[in-house]
Amino acid sequence: MGRQRKGRSPAAPDTAEGPRPGVWQIATGTVELVPDDLTPGAWTVMINGVPSSHVDPARPDRLDFEYMRWMAAVLRMHVPRHLDPQRLRVLHLGGGACSMARWTAQEWPTARQVVVELDTRLVELVREWFDLPRAPLLRIRAGEAREVTESLSESTREVIIRDVFAGSETPEPLTTVEFTRAVERVLAPGGIYLVNVGDHPQLNGVRAEIAGLRAVFEHVAAVADPAMFKGRRRGNVVLAASHNPLPAAGSPEASEMTRSLLVDPVPAQYKDSDWTATFVATVPARRDPSS
């Protein structure tokens, strides 16, 4: 994720290839590698003191962050039903240490992926530290997420994942109806757009983002843990949007999704398009200032 908080003064570790504990200066602050005490060989990547990614080099299929596991559950449901798993083209907006890209490469080895990351130095370090798939299967592109998305050709991605943060918030230009329309233009038929929303207990940001997605896409669903949906804490909500149907409450697909989410280490709930429509009610979608 493209986080931009002020961090502590960096140390000056050697830049030899391979991960090892230390703090490095990057364009947007600092990046720190912290060993995972519970999983030998795994690492937490801290951007300006904030956990940004978790990488287990020996287990690309292992996703330590719960919202990434929720995204994976949605993709496992959607891709085989609406897309050709052998011909996937995936765009990741916000790269971090490419945890979701590594998972996707493990799940669908022929997928071609592009990860967009704002910080060029972070991109270089991630390539040095971790064994990432090489081009053309995985390309890491330094750039600003909206600019890159708007530059892409129509119908050229089956999956787009947005996981971009400046501090604890997603930059507002990536949350507007106009940006969502740019995403829709880039998505191929049957494609799906996944969004990681960090929000406060009042869930005003989640409501605004759902309203924006519903202004563009026919189907919008949500995944989060019960405490988040009940407004008891700050945390993450995963939103999914597509013109193809997403599982409706009571359907076999929704039941399968629910089972997969309930066995997660952080059990989550799946909310369908009817729920999201009621949840946002008359909340206005965000729009570009000039609109």
pLDDT at residue 78 in the model: 97
Going by pLDDT thresholds of 50, 70 and 90, the confidence category of residue 17 is low
pLDDT at residue 189 in the model: 97
Task: Quote the tokens at residue 84.
Answer: 């050709």
What is this structure's pTM?
A: 0.92
Residues 6 or more apart from 147 whose CB is under 8 A from it? none
Structural domains of the chain, count: 1
pLDDT at residue 28 in the model: 87
Check which CATH number belongs to the domain holding 112 and give it. Answer: 3.40.50.150
pLDDT at residue 16 in the model: 53
Residues 100 and 184: their CA atoms lie apart, in Å, by: 21
Q: Domain limits at 247?
A: 66-280
Residue 101 pLDDT greater than 80, yes or no: yes
Q: List pLDDT tens digits, range 192-204.
A: 999 999 999 999 9
- 72: amino acid identity, one letter: A
Going by pLDDT thresholds of 50, 70 and 90, the confidence category of residue 236 is very high
Q: List pLDDT tens digits, range 63-83.
A: 999 999 999 999 999 999 999
Residue 59 pLDDT greater than 60, yes or no: yes
Mean pLDDT of 142-160: 97
Q: Is residue 287 part of a domain?
A: no
pLDDT at residue 133 in the model: 87
| Bridge partners, residue 231, by sequence | none
Q: Is residue 95 part of a domain?
A: yes
Q: Is residue 29 part of a domain?
A: no
